[in-house]
């Protein structure tokens, strides 16, 4: 009996203190927390990657997310001394009643449609053709040559095209003279300037954009090509029935994203290739916003034009996504 009593006496405090011990450990876990320690460990292990991401995150936060809050200027009259005056849809009524804006809007639609029709397919074609080049050194040389223009600014590219299309000593008019044709001033001709935008965009972006399609091609299962070859398929048939279906999701995704940027006809390109003779043909929404916002100081009207373009862009993304899901079963989300 004595030994049992001694054993019970030794055990009772431990059992009695058990809830208190659990409570203390739980509170300590709350203070330190496995989640907090895991986050601290992840931050310690991955901080170089977070540091590399920081400039991009800061850029998007400052130039893409903070301006969302300032979109309220489209519904206000800006005053030098705050607060601004709320005017509702006044600036949208002025904007939609302006003949200049509708001309700018038409120019944007035409230029963007030309780029979708003639620029978007070129990287796909380039990727398909490069995939057929079997010589490794030749493929690398071609890739380096065609994506190099992507790293040039539009200032440099505009200088190259202005010099190449010069009516006096440009290479394009030298070729026309060799063929017995009269020189043509492409940079001041209303019928040519939009095509100059298209071809300069192709020259600058086709080599770089094809990287996404080439990566999608390399991700296709090689056994599909082996099976097609065993069935007697030619290279053209393998491209048509294996390669193109394999990169169809990538094509659909990029088309949807391009549809969202349909009304962004590249401000930098237009500004650098524009001049007084052809401004009426290539004046787009972005240049209109730049002109009335920064040059004339009509911030509210410029903000309403930018918000109008953003809403239309969102509608185009949703429409393109819905159409792609119905036709191909693939979309952005």
Tell the burial category of 330 from Cβ atoms under 10 Å away from its Cβ (0-12, 13-18, 19+): middle
Residues contacting 41, CB < 8 A, separation 6+: none
Q: For residue range 43-68, list pLDDT tens digits in order.
A: 888 888 889 999 999 998 998 888 88
Distance CA 325, CA 256 (A): 11
Alpha-helical (H) ranges within 171-298 are 171-178, 193-218, 222-230, 235-238, 244-260, 267-273, 279-282, 285-290
Q: Are 182 and 176 in contact (CB under 8 A)?
A: yes
pLDDT at 262: 80
Task: Show the domains of the chain with their CATH numbers.
Answer: 96-327 (1.10.3720.10)
Instruction: Give the 3-state secondary structure percentages of the chain, helix then strand then coil, rounded to 5.
Output: 80, 0, 20
Q: What is the mean pLDDT of residues 306-327?
A: 85
Alpha-helical (H) ranges within 119-192 are 121-131, 136-147, 154-164, 171-178
> For residue 332, is pLDDT > 70?
no
Max mean pLDDT range (7-21, 134-148, 212-226): 212-226
The DSSP annotation for 72-96 comes to GGGGEE--SSSPPEE-TTHHHHHHH
The pLDDT mean for the chain works out to 84
> For residue 69, is pLDDT > 90?
no
pLDDT at 41: 84
Q: Are 236 and 250 in contact (CB under 8 A)?
A: no
Chain centroid offset of residue 263 CA: 13
pLDDT at 35: 60
pLDDT > 70: what percent of the chain? Answer: 89
pLDDT band at 235 (very low <50, low <70, confident <90, very high): confident
This prediction has a pTM of 0.78
pLDDT at 220: 92
Q: Which residues of 227-250 are buried (b: 16+ CB within 10 A; e: fewer)?
A: ebeeeebeeeebbeebbeebbeeb
pLDDT at 106: 93
Residues contacting 303, CB < 8 A, separation 6+: 70, 71, 73, 74, 91, 293
Q: If you search the block for the tokens 């939609």, which residue do you land on? A: 96
Q: For residue range 136-189, list pLDDT tens digits in order.
A: 788 888 888 888 899 999 999 999 999 999 988 889 999 998 888 888 999 999
pLDDT at 11: 45
> For residue 23, is pLDDT > 70?
no
The more confidently predicted of residues 53 and 327 is: 53
Q: What is the mean pLDDT of residues 314-329?
A: 82
> For residue 245, is pLDDT > 60?
yes
pLDDT at 209: 87
pLDDT band at 198 (very low <50, low <70, confident <90, very high): very high
pLDDT at 16: 42
The more confidently predicted of residues 242 and 43 is: 242
Least Cα distance to 72 among 96, 91, 94, 95 occurs for 91
pLDDT band at 40 (very low <50, low <70, confident <90, very high): confident
Torsion-angle region of 135 (φ positive above 0: left; ψ -120 to 50: alpha; else: beta) = beta
The more confidently predicted of residues 21 and 41 is: 41
């Amino acid at each position: 009996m004595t030994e049992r009593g001694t054993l019970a006496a030794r055990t009772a405090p431990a059992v009695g203190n058990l809830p208190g011990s659990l409570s203390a450990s739980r509170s300590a876990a709350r203070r330190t927390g496995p989640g907090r320690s895991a986050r601290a460990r992840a931050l310690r292990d991955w901080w170089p990657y977070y540091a590399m991401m920081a400039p991009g995150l800061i850029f998007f936060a400052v130039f893409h997310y903070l301006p969302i809050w300032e979109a309220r200027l489209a519904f206000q009259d800006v005053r030098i001394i705050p607060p601004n005056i709320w005017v509702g849809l006044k600036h949208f009524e002025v904007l939609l009643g302006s003949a200049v804006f509708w001309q700018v809007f038409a120019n944007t639609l035409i230029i963007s449609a030309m780029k979708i029709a003639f620029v978007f397919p070129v990287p796909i074609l380039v990727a398909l053709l490069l995939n057929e080049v079997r010589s490794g050194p030749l493929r690398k040389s071609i890739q380096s040559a065609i994506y190099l223009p992507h790293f040039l600014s539009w200032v440099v590219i505009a200088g190259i095209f202005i010099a190449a299309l010069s009516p006096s000593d440009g290479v394009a008019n030298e070729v026309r003279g060799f063929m017995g044709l009269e020189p043509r001033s492409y940079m001041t001709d209303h019928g040519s300037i939009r095509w100059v935008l298209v071809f300069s965009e192709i020259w600058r972006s086709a080599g770089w954009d094809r990287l996404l399609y080439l990566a999608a091609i390399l991700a296709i299962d090689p056994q599909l090509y082996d099976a097609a070859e065993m069935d007697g398929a030619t290279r053209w048939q393998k491209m048509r029935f294996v390669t193109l279906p394999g990169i169809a999701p990538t094509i659909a995704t990029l088309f949807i994203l391009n549809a969202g940027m349909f009304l962004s006809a590249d401000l930098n390109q237009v500004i650098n290739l524009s001049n007084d003779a052809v401004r009426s043909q290539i004046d787009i929404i972005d240049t209109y916003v730049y002109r009335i916002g920064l040059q004339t100081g009509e911030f509210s009207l410029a903000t309403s034009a930018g918000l109008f373009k953003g809403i239309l862009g969102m509608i185009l993304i949703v429409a393109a996504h819905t159409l792609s899901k119905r036709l191909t079963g693939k979309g952005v989300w």
